[in-house]
Amino acid sequence: MMKKESKSFIRAKRLAFAALLSALSFVLMYAGALSGVFDLCAVVGGALCCAFAVIEMGGMWPWLVCSVTGALSLLLLPDKFVALEYIALGGISPIIKAYLERLPKAPGYALKVLSFNVMLTVCLLLAKFVLGIQDEWAAFNIIVYLAGNVFFIIFDYALTVFITYYVQRLRQKLKIRL
């Protein structure tokens, strides 16, 4: 006969798990920032950690993982743009995805693309005016938005495939109880 866990014990387990996911995401961001090449791969890895938090814990916990990883990335990464990429794409997108996929398919997908474009615009504005990144691509041009939207569509599809595979196959085998 199993003992029922108290609410405070469950909260402590979730907090510890959120801290582990935040630490893993930050390590991925740091490796991506140091490489200079694999920054988007690191952001996708961070997004998987955040998606994992959405699936297993829900509620405020994915927001906590996103906030902690984003704050640590902004404070400690040598390349601050990687932190902005994580916040705009890797952290918030899986959380928004969970809410928008409850809507009918066409409006939900349109809102996902719209939310990505808003986050991309905010990211570019912060890079230019707050962080002082003055690259030629930081200007608002159509190429950045086209490439970004193509990447987002591929990213969203890959995230859907990962989530489906995890929920249908791996979740029962891992038996994570949070």
The confidence score (pLDDT) of residue 132 equals 75
**Which residues does the chain have with pLDDT short of 70?**
1-3, 134-140
Alpha helices by DSSP H, 36-104: 39-56, 61-76, 80-85, 92-100
Cα–Cα distance measured from residue 22 to residue 40, given in angstroms and rounded to the nearest whole number: 17
The confidence score (pLDDT) of residue 139 equals 54
Cα–Cα distance measured from residue 47 to residue 167, given in angstroms and rounded to the nearest whole number: 16
- Note the pLDDT tens digit of each residue in 135-173: 665 556 788 889 989 999 999 999 999 999 999 998 888
The confidence score (pLDDT) of residue 140 equals 60
In the chain, how many H helices and how many E strands?
A: 8, 0
The confidence score (pLDDT) of residue 134 equals 67
- Cβ contact 152:113 at 8 Å: yes
- Cβ contact 81:131 at 8 Å: yes
- Cβ contact 42:31 at 8 Å: yes
Smallest CA-to-CA distance from 178 within 32, 58, 50 is with 58
